[in-house]
């Protein structure tokens, strides 16, 4: 899909949002045939022509939409690129509405928000970047060539099971297009980059059942001091990646690490998410994908709403408090704020190295049974559960060590499992 209009018959209805009364710029992009032809382009709002922007690729998806809202609340102007392959254009109205509501309440200036419906792999991306190039100035120290001061890249296919059935689609969208994207950004002098990675990059390191630290998966050999003060050395590489999806995340990280090693002017943060869950407190943003969800929270909501008869819980004999598996569930708004912190560090050139990976989790595990209990409480309904044996490749406990993000990004998750459950139920029951 190259370009797409806003009309989207299959998208869920938008609540009655009075966006049109708010001074937000929303442009559905029509790709120019020739990237030198400015007359056919929608220019950035003239009033903010010298402004800076953050390009958010995949910004209408679950994590992207929450992150765009947090960026707007922090005063960043945002340009979204999304092909709607796993999201709906109504999400754009909802972000606009929530940002405007926040700015009205706080008296802040409402930043600019633009949406370009296109595949990030299409030639139209180059046209778009051309529109945001800066004009040469008389000031020799002003070497910036683009008004885009940073990129957050969410766009990827994300289903583990689908990646096993359609590996080439996953390698193309998640890795093939990604290499071209980095070359294009380099060409336009854009070198601040935040990448959506995943705890899956730890492969079989997760089997040890102890909190995972970033040094457990590195792309160039590293030495570090462990918790006991001992000097350790980690060889690059990873074992036990179990799906094409996981391999795409690891490959993209490796590409970014090699790029940063070759050219230290890059400033790249790879954010390894643990288990993102929950929704915005307003009930207007949540996980609303076109794919059938395979994660725990969306499956529970399908059971609660009657779309699925029972919840299958795999494994009840793990060495955990109640025998069910432990995961590190992080509220999506905390995760979104983690991106804002990472972007600030990237833009200020404050990363400890040109490529730096960070775990984004809470550092605290919860069992699947605890999740079931908190969702039952939030919904005031019983969840029928069927206990099954362990699934091949599952691990008993997967929790983040969050020390690095705490000290280097000055970011910590704030929200509880109860917040995750209540916001999820608030979203699906509206
Ligand atoms: N949700 C999770 O549990 C989780 C966990 C770890 C990592 N991640 C990663 O975080 C990122 C975002 O995840 P999410 O849950 O928000 O997924 P999502 O599917 O909700 O969002 C991805 C967005 O990218 C868009 N997109 C996909 N391919 C595109 C393309 N070629 N061009 C333009 N837009 C495209 C989709 O339409 C969608 O809006 C992904 O890279 C995913 O792999 C997600």
Report CA(196)–ligand 1 centroid distance (Å).
8
- Cα–Cα distance list, 333 to 265, 316, 409 (Å): 30, 30, 16
Could you tell me the pLDDT band of residue 49, with boundaries at 50, 70 and 90?
Answer: low
pLDDT in tens, 376-410: 999 999 999 999 999 887 889 999 999 999 999 99
* Range scoring the smallest mean pLDDT among 6-20, 26-40, 114-128, 367-381: 26-40
Instruction: Using a cut of 0.85, tell me whether the model's pTM lies above it.
Output: yes
Which residues, other chains included, contact 138 with Cβ-Cβ below 8 Å and sequence gap of 6+?
Answer: none
In whole angstroms, give the CA distance from residue 319 to residue 315.
Answer: 10
Does 125 have pLDDT greater than 90? Answer: yes
Q: What is the pLDDT of residue 316?
A: 95
Query: How much of the chain, in percent, has pLDDT values that exceed 70?
Result: 87
Is the CB of 295 within 6 Å of ligand 1? yes
Query: Which of 139-148, 153-162, 221-230 has the highest average model confidence (pLDDT)?
Result: 153-162
In whole angstroms, give the CA distance from residue 129 to residue 7.
Answer: 25
**CA nearest to 148, candidates 200, 209, 189:** 189
Average pLDDT score, the chain: 88
Mean pLDDT of 166-194: 97
In whole angstroms, give the CA distance from residue 177 to residue 163.
Answer: 16
Establish whether 245 is a catalytic residue: yes
Is the CB of 273 within 6 Å of ligand 1? yes
In whole angstroms, give the CA distance from residue 116 to residue 382.
Answer: 43
Q: Which atom of ligand 1 is nearest to the CA of 158?
A: 43
**CA nearest to 269, candidates 360, 398, 401, 184:** 360
**What does the radius of gyration of the chain's CA atoms come to, in whole angstroms?**
21
Kindly report the backbone phi and psi dihedral angles of residue 57, in degrees, each rounded to the nearest multiple of 5, phi listed first.
-95, 125
Closest residue to atom 12 of ligand 1, CA basis: 154
Q: Which atom of ligand 1 is nearest to the CA of 153?
A: 41
In whole angstroms, give the CA distance from residue 109 to residue 100.
Answer: 9
E strand spans, 318-369: 326-327, 329-331, 355-360, 366-367
Q: Residue 342: which H helix or E strand, with range?
A: helix 332-347
Mean pLDDT of 232-238: 91
């Amino acid at each position: 899909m190259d370009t797409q209009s806003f009309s989207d018959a299959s998208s869920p209805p938008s609540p009655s949002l009075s966006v049109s009364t708010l001074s937000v710029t929303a442009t559905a992009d029509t790709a120019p045939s020739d990237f030198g032809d400015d007359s056919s382009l929608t220019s950035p709002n003239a009033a903010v022509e010298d402004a800076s922007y953050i390009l958010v690729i995949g910004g209408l998806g679950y994590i992207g939409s929450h992150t765009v809202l947090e960026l707007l609340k922090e005063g960043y102007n945002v340009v979204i690129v999304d092909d709607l392959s796993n999201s709906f254009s109504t999400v754009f109205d909802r972000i606009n509405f929530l940002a405007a509501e926040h700015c009205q309440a706080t008296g802040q200036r409402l930043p600019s928000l633009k949406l370009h419906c296109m595949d990030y792999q299409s030639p139209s991306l180059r046209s778009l970047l051309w529109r945001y190039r800066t004009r040469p100035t008389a000031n020799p120290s002003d070497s910036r060539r683009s008004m885009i001061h940073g990129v957050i890249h969410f766009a990827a296919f994300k289903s583990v099971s689908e990646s096993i059935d359609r590996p080439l689609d996953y390698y193309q969208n998640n890795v093939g297009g990604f290499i071209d994207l980095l070359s294009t950004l380099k060409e336009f002098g854009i070198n601040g980059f935040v990448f959506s990675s995943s705890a899956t990059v730890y492969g079989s390191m997760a089997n040890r059942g102890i909190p995972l630290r970033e040094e457990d998966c590195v792309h160039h050999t590293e030495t570090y001091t462990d918790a006991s003060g001992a000097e350790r050395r980690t060889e690059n590489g990873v074992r036990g990646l179990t799906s094409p999806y996981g391999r795409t995340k690891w490959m993209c990280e490796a590409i970014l690490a090699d790029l940063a090693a070759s050219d230290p002017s890059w400033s790249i943060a790879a954010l390894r998410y643990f288990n993102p869950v929950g929704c915005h407190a307003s009930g207007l943003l949540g996980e609303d994908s076109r794919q059938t969800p395979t994660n725990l929270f969306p499956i529970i909501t399908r059971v609660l709403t009657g779309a699925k008869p029972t919840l299958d819980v795999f494994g009840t004999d793990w060495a955990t408090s109640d025998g069910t598996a432990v995961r590190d569930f992080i509220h999506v708004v905390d995760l979104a704020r983690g991106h804002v912190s990472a972007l600030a560090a990237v833009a200020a050139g404050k990363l400890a190295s040109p490529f730096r990976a960070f775990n984004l989790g809470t550092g605290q595990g919860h069992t699947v049974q605890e999740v079931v209990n908190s969702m039952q409480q939030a919904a005031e309904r019983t969840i029928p559960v069927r206990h099954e044996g362990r699934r091949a490749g599952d691990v008993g406990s997967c929790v983040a060590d969050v020390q690095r993000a705490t000290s280097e990004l000055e970011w910590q998750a704030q929200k509880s499992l109860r917040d995750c459950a209540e916001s999820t139920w608030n979203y699906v029951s509206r």
